[in-house]
Amino acid sequence: MTETRTLSLAEIEDLSFRALVAAGTSEESARALALATAATEADGVASHGLAYIPIYCEHVRCGKVDGQATPVLTRPKPGVVAVDAATGFAHAAIDLGFETLVPATREQGLAVLVIRNSYNCGVLGYHTYRLAQEGLVGLGFTNAPASIAPSGGAKPVVGTNPFSVAVPGSDGQPALLIDQSASTIAKSEVMKHAREGKPIPIGWALDAEGNPTTDPNVGLKGSMAPSGGYKGVGIALLTEIMAAALTGATLGINASPFSGTSGGPPRTGQCFIAIDPAATAGGNFASTVAELVEAIRFQDGAHLPGDGRRTKRLSARGHGVDVNATTLSKIEAILA
Using one digit for the tens of pLDDT, what is the confidence trace for 292-326? 999 999 999 998 988 899 899 999 999 999 999 99
H/E stretch holding 178 reads: strand 174-180
From the number of C-beta atoms within 10 Å of its C-beta (0-12, 13-18, 19+), residue 150 rates as middle
Distance of alpha carbon 223 from alpha carbon 281, whole angstroms: 42
Closest CA to 60 of 30, 101, 28, 15: 30
pLDDT at 191: 84
Out of 26, 47, 118, 183, which one is annotated catalytic? 47
pLDDT at 1: 62
Residues 6+ apart with CB under 8 A from 105: 111, 136, 274, 275, 276
Q: How confident is the model at residue 133 (pLDDT cuts 50, 70, 90)?
A: very high
Q: What's 1-62+307-336's CATH class?
A: mainly alpha
Out of 26, 48, 118, 147, which one is annotated catalytic? 48
Concerning whether 47 is annotated as a catalytic residue, the answer is yes
CB 87 within 8 A of CB 69: yes
**Is 75-183+226-305 the same fold as 1-62+307-336?**
no
Domain boundaries, the chain: 1-62+307-336, 75-183+226-305
Out of 189, 193, 227, 240, which one is annotated catalytic? 189
Q: What percent of the chain has pLDDT over 70?
A: 100
Distance of alpha carbon 170 from alpha carbon 146, whole angstroms: 39
Concerning whether 48 is annotated as a catalytic residue, the answer is yes
Torsion of CA 63, 181, 183, 293, to 10 degrees: 170
Q: What's 75-183+226-305's CATH class?
A: alpha beta
Concerning whether 189 is annotated as a catalytic residue, the answer is yes
Q: Is the pLDDT of residue 225 over 70?
A: yes
pLDDT at 192: 84
Distance of alpha carbon 211 from alpha carbon 193, whole angstroms: 19
Distance of alpha carbon 44 from alpha carbon 313, whole angstroms: 8
